[in-house]
Amino acid sequence: MKILVTGGAGFIGSNFLRYMVNKYPNYEFVNYDKLTYAGNLDNLLDIDSMPNYSFVKGDVCNLDFLTEILRDVDVVIHFAAESHVDLSIGNSLAFTKSNTYGTHVLLEAARVCKVKKFIHFSTDEVYGDIINGKFSETDKLDPSNPYSASKAAAEMIVQAYSKTFKLPIIMTRGNNNYGPYQYPEKIIPRFATDLMMDRKIPLHNPNPFRTYLHVDDTSRAVDIILHKGVIGETYNIGTEDEFRNIEIAKKCLDYFGKDESYIEHVQDRPFNDLRYSVVLTKLQNLGWKQEISFEKGFIDTLKWYEENRAWWEKLILKN
């Protein structure tokens, strides 16, 4: 099987490739990435020389190039996306181009090349927020910000290609991922790197809840969906590990031995979803279960940032 992974130099994509390249030596993996600010080939140095891995620099908006690249590809796993909500509020057009138009271009190339399976990686944020209860895969989409709107729009095009062109598509919607190699703009690596530099941590709203999923559990979920998922279905990926933003801040402060004077309360987003939570039954019925508890994954992640200071310092100085 030949598998093309878009956004494979980013956080989730690189962790997924590391997991899959080592697990399936008889599969061929192509990492297709534009190498924007969050794409980093240093994330993949440990598999760079593996015989079943290769890298192609490219943009998901380049139809002609993608059509060439996909000619002998069996499966597309589409991680590539702009994903930071704060950035989408300030530069929303870039998110529509990458996340919505880019997905459309990739779908068209997959259609032309008769790809056998297309797995589209979306987000639980497309549902909007939910104060009580959980969203199931059949609930309506109600995105609240330009990022989640661009991902919801991409899903509409994915569904259209499934219905109109019978493209063999599976969709996923995941909780907040965390773990090693996450660009230090998201809450856990941002707080960790700021505290290691003896800086205050910016907290724009202490109250929203987020549900956290270790990236290795995500890799295992996508692996199972690739092999056991039903064409045309959507699968939520997540956990029950739900924390308010202030709780994550305090956990980081405790780990690094800082007090709450290191919290800097900053202006909130124009609109901030209060809570996300999803039903996991469909994925669990495929045989997936959470293997990394938040307690272990959180500490291991902070240790990783402590031990890999050169990795993130270079990114902060570059940008």
Positions annotated as catalytic residues are 124-125, 147
Nearest to 262 by CA among 183, 194, 187, 309: 194
State the DSSP code for 26. T
Helices 245-256 and 187-196 pack at an angle, to 10 degrees, of: 30
Positions of E strands within the chain: 2-6, 28-33, 53-57, 75-78, 117-123, 169-174, 176-178, 201-203, 209-214, 234-237, 242-244, 263-265
Q: Which of 76, 95, 97 is nearest to 31 (CA)?
A: 76
Classify burial at 46, counting beta carbons within 10 Å of its beta carbon; exposed 0-12, middle 13-18, buried 19 or more: exposed
In this structure, the number of other CB atoms found within 10 A of the CB of residue 268 comes to 13
The structure tokens listed for 241 are 């590990």
Which of 3-33 are b and which e, b meaning 16 or more Cβ less than 10 Å from the residue's Cβ? bbbbbbbbbbbbbbbbbbbeebeebbbbbbb
Residues 6+ apart with CB under 8 A from 258: 195
